[in-house]
């Protein structure tokens, strides 16, 4: 019948063999071939130890040493090929087995490794080493040292998933070596040989971790495994200590009083363990959390922070900053790229932090959009390398040096893509990380939809506000014009009216005034009323122009004909003042506008020229059609305008120093001219020097249809 130790060792051997076959039944590459050699070696070693103890035959000792070719040689081959090696195991690699095979071939036939094996009554065995055993130890140590050297070298250069795989390898090796050290070195040195079986069974731990590293490409964080292992080991150990202490205490205290002490102590101890187990577990959980997860993050806290960030702002820049902060702090990432769908349906960079887009063009992002249209799952670059995925997508993420890419959908449509850089720790994304990214990807679509709606509303509100402001400004200007008009009337009409009233009052008091004196007074009244009439006429013209600011129903006006009429009308006035008067036309010009307003514009300018030009002077009207504009220049050799008056000459009621002398003027004529020119889409300007005359230049857009 098998002892507990033998049964335990047999189970370890069979479990090792089963794990090895499970891994090997997949893709048969160099990694799995070397793993098969190593796993089969450890499995046969365990089973052979059991058979040797049962059969008590020393011949199995030689077989056990022979098997070491496979587990030590397999370990070196595995270190050489793991974690990635294309193709099958090269035949030349089998030469790595030669040193151990040669040593065993020379020593085993002559019992130079083990002289004999002593079988103890308790089932344990004690080998007596031969003279060549030291060479076996040196050779085996060489294989182990070479394997560790290769693994450590690869670990230093590894990134992402490869680094995670090697971590699992180290964890398995560390656990196995620790058990071997305790069971086969430390305890035997203290004279304890009963636990040797643990050292022999320890490779199953290494094989299990290694198999996990080969088969899986997405891992639970290594810290989680260590922490949970220590948690349950510590909890069980604490419970065992409480159990045995309870039994020991009860038996020592009540042994002489009660015969049923063993039963009572067992019941009490079991009760204490049941009550205390949750508390032990909670204490160990807090302790291991503080030790292993100081640089880690709480999934639920981060998920809550992301949800809060997505819901708390409708400003994309603020949202992107919050996402950078959350992902950067918790996942240790410093590169972020946000791509949005533009009006052409293409992905374009909306916000970028630390990614280089020099070698990236629109076609690369086009492939990414196509990929996410078919697959809505996040892309993890390290996993993509192990899949038969689109080469273009792999190449894009490689050029970007990206760690992950997340699609963001809203109402079943791809709205954006969020790309994150690799972790600064060079670790791959864990299950927890990917679950967090998935949750964020689904929530972000709603947030982007809200931001888009908010932007549309904001843009519409902005446009509406501008229209309201514009309309308000127009109404204000109209109101100001009306107010100014009323003020101008009350101010300018007051003086002539006062003069008229004064003269009339004077006339009424003179009952016996002479005929000549009465006529003179009436003449003053008549002149004042004429001035008043002109002023009122000008004010009405301004009011009419202001009122029609946006309502001009223009008709084609032939400027050649209009200027001919004005020339004929004013010719007699020029002759009376002995002024030379000319009209010159270069080309035919037609404008769209109000003929009476245009007549008033040019008549005002000609009247001013006649008014301020002395006898012997010259007035000239020149019409020139240039491309899309007609230019009308009215020149005179009159008194001219002072330099300081030129900037204000077109203001209402402004009178230049010339007008303030002995020539009557309302100060509205040129203001009327400017308003009429503006109303017709044109402009008016002046060039003048005192004593040399003035040039008034009117530019009006021509009406192309009649040309």
CATH code of residue 339: 3.30.450.40
From 216, 232, 248, the end of a domain falls on 216
Is 256 a domain residue? no
Query: How many Å apart are CA 263 and CA 656, to the nearest integer?
Result: 127
Question: Please, where are the H alpha helices in 130-260?
Answer: 133-157, 160-180, 187-189, 196-201, 203-215, 222-254
Say yes or no: 338 and 193 in one domain. no
Q: Which of 47, 58, 49 is nearest to 14 (CA)?
A: 47
Domain ranges, residue 701: 552-706
Query: How many Å apart are CA 192 and CA 184, to the nearest integer?
Result: 9
Say yes or no: 178 and 57 in one domain. yes
Element (H, E) at 678: helix 669-679
User: Which CATH number characterizes residue 575's domain?
Assistant: 3.30.565.10
Is 616 a domain residue? yes
Element (H, E) at 351: strand 347-353
User: Which CATH number characterizes residue 69's domain?
Assistant: 1.20.1070
- Dihedral pair phi/psi, residue 314, rounded to 5°: -110, 15
Say yes or no: 334 and 211 in one domain. no
Q: What is the length of the chain?
A: 707
Is 239 a domain residue? no
Query: How many Å apart are CA 318 and CA 421, to the nearest integer?
Result: 20
**∠ Cα 275 278 280 (to 5°):** 100
Is 261 a domain residue? no
Helix axes 203-215, 4-24, angle to 10 degrees: 20
From 216, 248, 281, the end of a domain falls on 216
Domains: count for the chain: 3
483's CB contacts (< 8 A; 6+ apart) are none
Query: How many Å apart are CA 412 and CA 27, to the nearest integer?
Result: 38
From 166, 185, 216, the end of a domain falls on 216
Contacts within 8 Å (CB) and 24+ apart, 336-342: 336/418, 336/419, 336/420, 336/421, 337/400, 337/402, 337/418, 337/419, 338/416, 338/417, 338/418, 338/419, 339/365, 339/368, 339/416, 339/417, 339/418, 339/419, 340/415, 340/416, 341/369, 341/414, 341/415, 341/416
Say yes or no: 212 and 319 in one domain. no
Say yes or no: 197 and 303 in one domain. no
How deeply is 557 buried, as exposed, middle or buried, from its count of CB atoms within 10 A (0-12, 13-18, 19+)?
buried
Could you say which residues of the chain have pLDDT below 70? 1-2, 26-27, 85-86, 120-125, 160, 189, 191, 193-194, 216-296, 314, 343-345, 362, 385-390, 449-465, 479-553, 653-666, 705-707
Say yes or no: 304 and 210 in one domain. no
> According to the model, what pLDDT value does residue 293 have?
43
CB 322 within 8 A of CB 313: yes
> According to the model, what pLDDT value does residue 257 have?
54
Dihedral over Cα of 437, 443, 446, 447: its sign: negative
CB 378 within 8 A of CB 418: no
Distances (CA, A) of 387 to 383, 390, 517: 7, 9, 119
Is 396 a domain residue? yes
Backbone dihedral region of 589: left (phi > 0), alpha (psi from -120 to 50 degrees) or beta? beta
> According to the model, what pLDDT value does residue 545 have?
64
Is 513 a domain residue? no
> According to the model, what pLDDT value does residue 278 have?
67
Say yes or no: 200 and 320 in one domain. no
Is 427 a domain residue? yes
Say yes or no: 315 and 430 in one domain. yes
DSSP 8-state secondary structure symbol assigned to residue 378? P
> Tokens at residue 394, please?
């792999």
> Tokens at residue 293, please?
């997860």
Q: Which residue has the tokens 């002109």?
A: 534
Do strands 693-701 and 629-636 pair parallel, antiparallel, or not at all (unpaired)? antiparallel
Say yes or no: 203 and 321 in one domain. no
> Tokens at residue 185, please?
């070195």
pTM for the predicted model, two decimal places: 0.43
The strand pairing partners of 573, in sequence order, are none
Do strands 580-586 and 618-626 pair parallel, antiparallel, or not at all (unpaired)? parallel
CB 83 within 8 A of CB 31: yes
Question: Please, where are the H alpha helices in 493-594?
Answer: 494-509, 515-547, 559-576
> Tokens at residue 91, please?
């035949």
The strand pairing partners of 622, in sequence order, are 584, 633
Say yes or no: 691 and 571 in one domain. yes
> Tokens at residue 152, please?
């450590």
Q: Which of 159, 151, 158, 153 is nearest to 426 (CA)?
A: 159
Query: How many Å apart are CA 49 and CA 220, to the nearest integer?
Result: 35
Say yes or no: 210 and 324 in one domain. no
Report the SS3 class of residue 193: coil
Rounded to the nearest angstrom, the gap between the alpha carbon of residue 35 and the centroid of all alpha carbons in its chain is: 44
Backbone dihedral region of 702: left (phi > 0), alpha (psi from -120 to 50 degrees) or beta? beta
How deeply is 124 buried, as exposed, middle or buried, from its count of CB atoms within 10 A (0-12, 13-18, 19+)?
middle
Do strands 580-586 and 125-129 pair parallel, antiparallel, or not at all (unpaired)? unpaired
Query: How many Å apart are CA 198 and CA 204, to the nearest integer?
Result: 10
Neighbours of 110 (CB within 10 A): 10
Is 260 a domain residue? no
Distances (CA, A) of 520 to 123, 293, 664: 157, 113, 19
Say yes or no: 205 and 353 in one domain. no
**∠ Cα 697 700 701 (to 5°):** 150
């Amino acid at each position: 019948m098998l002892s507990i130790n033998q049964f335990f060792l047999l189970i370890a051997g069979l479990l090792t063999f089963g794990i090895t076959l499970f891994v090997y039944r997949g893709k048969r590459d160099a990694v799995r071939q070397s793993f098969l050699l190593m796993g089969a070696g450890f499995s046969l070693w365990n089973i052979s130890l059991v058979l040797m103890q049962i059969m008590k035959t020393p011949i199995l000792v030689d077989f056990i040493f022979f098997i070491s070719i496979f587990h030590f040689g397999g370990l070196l081959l595995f270190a050489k090929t793991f974690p990635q090696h294309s193709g099958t195991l090269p035949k030349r690699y089998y030469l790595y087995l030669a040193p151990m095979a040669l040593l065993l071939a020379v020593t085993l036939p002559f019992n130079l490794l083990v002289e004999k094996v002593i079988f103890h009554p308790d089932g344990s065995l004690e080998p007596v080493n031969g003279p060549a055993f030291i060479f076996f130890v040196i050779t085996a140590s060489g294989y182990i040292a070479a394997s560790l050297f290769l693994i450590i070298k690869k670990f230093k250069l590894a990134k992402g998933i490869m680094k995670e795989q090697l971590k699992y390898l180290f964890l398995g090796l560390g656990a196995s070596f620790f058990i071997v050290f305790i069971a086969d070195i430390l305890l035997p040195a203290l004279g304890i040989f009963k636990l040797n079986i643990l050292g022999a069974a320890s490779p199953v731990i290494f094989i299990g971790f290694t198999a996990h590293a080969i088969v899986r490409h997405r891992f639970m964080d290594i810290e989680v495994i260590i922490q949970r292992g220590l948690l349950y080991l510590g909890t069980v150990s604490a419970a065992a200590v409480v159990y045995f202490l309870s039994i020991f205490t009860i038996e020592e205290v009540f042994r002489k009083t009660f015969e049923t002490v063993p039963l009572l102590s067992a019941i009490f101890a079991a009760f204490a363990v049941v009550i205390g187990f949750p508390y032990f577990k909670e204490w160990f959980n807090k302790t291991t959390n503080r030790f292993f997860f100081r640089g880690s993050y709480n999934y639920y806290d981060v998920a809550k922070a992301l949800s809060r960030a997505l819901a708390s702002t409708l400003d994309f820049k603020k949202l992107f900053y919050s996402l950078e902060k959350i992902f950067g702090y918790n996942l240790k990432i410093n590169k972020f790229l946000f791509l949005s769908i533009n009006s052409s349906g293409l992905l374009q960079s909306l916000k970028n932090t630390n990614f280089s887009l020099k070698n990236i063009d629109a076609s690369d992002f086009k492939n990414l959009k196509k990929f996410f249209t078919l697959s809505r799952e996040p892309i993890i670059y390290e996993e993509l390398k192990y899949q038969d995925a689109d080469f273009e997508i792999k190449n894009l993420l490689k050029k970007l040096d990206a760690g992950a890419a997340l699609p963001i959908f809203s109402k079943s449509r791809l709205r954006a893509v969020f790309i994150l850089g690799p972790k600064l720790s060079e670790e791959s994304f864990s299950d927890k990380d990917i679950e967090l990214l998935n949750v964020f990807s689904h929530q972000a679509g709603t947030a982007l939809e809200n931001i888009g709606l908010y932007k549309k509303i904001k843009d519409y509100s902005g446009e509406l506000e501008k229209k309201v402001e514009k309309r308000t400004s127009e109404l204000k200007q109209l109101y100001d014009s009306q107010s100014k008009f009323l003020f101008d009337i009350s101010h300018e009409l007051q003086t002539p009216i006062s003069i008229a009233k004064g003269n009339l009052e004077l006339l009424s008091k003179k009952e016996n005034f002479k005929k000549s004196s009465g006529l003179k007074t009436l003449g003053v009244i008549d002149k004042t009323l004429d001035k008043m009439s002109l002023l009122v006429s000008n004010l009405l013209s301004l009011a009419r122009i202001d009122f029609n600011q946006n309502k001009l129903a223009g008709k084609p006006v032939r400027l050649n004909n209009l200027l001919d009429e004005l020339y004929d009308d004013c010719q007699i006035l020029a002759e009376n003042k002995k002024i030379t008067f000319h009209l010159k036309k270069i080309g035919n010009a037609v404008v769209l506008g109000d003929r009476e307003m245009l007549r008033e514009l040019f008549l005002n300018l000609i009247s001013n020229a006649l008014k301020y030009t002395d006898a012997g002077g010259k007035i000239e009207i020149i019409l020139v059609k240039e491309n899309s504009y007609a230019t009308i220049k009215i020149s005179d050799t009159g008194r001219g305008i002072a330099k300081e008056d030129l900037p204000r000459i077109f203001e209402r009621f402004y009178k230049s120093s010339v007008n303030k002398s002995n020539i009557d003027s309302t100060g509205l004529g040129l203001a009327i001219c400017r308003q009429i020119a503006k109303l017709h889409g044109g402009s008016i300007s002046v060039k003048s020097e005192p004593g040399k005359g003035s040039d008034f230049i009117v530019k009006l857009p021509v009406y192309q249809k009649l040309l």
